[in-house]
Amino acid sequence: MDFLIDLNIKKDTIENIKKLKGNNIEIDIKSNKEEITNIINYFKKLGINNIDELLIYELDTFFQDYDYIKENITSNTVEQINDDYTYIENLI
């Protein structure tokens, strides 16, 4: 999961994901590296600043289709997501 570190995801975040989801989550994350990378970069471009919390608590978001994410999460929703990461549940 080194690619997450390359995307500036904290090591603590990765450890928290493993604690919550189990070590087998690494296989799923590595298998979906391209989609996850695209979504993280898209979120950064939009200005979403709580990506680490989203990865820990809303991990399923990053397994969605990238185009679906782009359709449902836009610049109009960034403020709500930044205020409360759980808002993303209303969008996907």
The mean pLDDT of the chain is 93
Inter-residue contact 43 to 55 (CB < 8 Å): no
pTM: 0.92
- pLDDT bucket at 1, cuts 50 / 70 / 90: confident
Sequence-ordered list of residues with C-beta below 8 angstroms from that of 40, at least 6 positions apart, any chain: 7, 9, 51, 62
- Give the pLDDT confidence of 43-56 residue by residue, as tens digits: 999 999 999 999 99
As a residue count, the chain comes to: 92
Q: How many separate domains does the chain show?
A: 1
Share of the chain above pLDDT 90, in %: 89
71-86: average pLDDT: 93
In angstroms, rounded to a whole number, what is the distance separating the alpha carbons of residues 85 and 32? 22
- Give the pLDDT confidence of 53-62 residue by residue, as tens digits: 999 999 999 9
The domain in which residue 11 lies consists of: 2-90
In angstroms, rounded to a whole number, what is the distance separating the alpha carbons of residues 52 and 35? 16
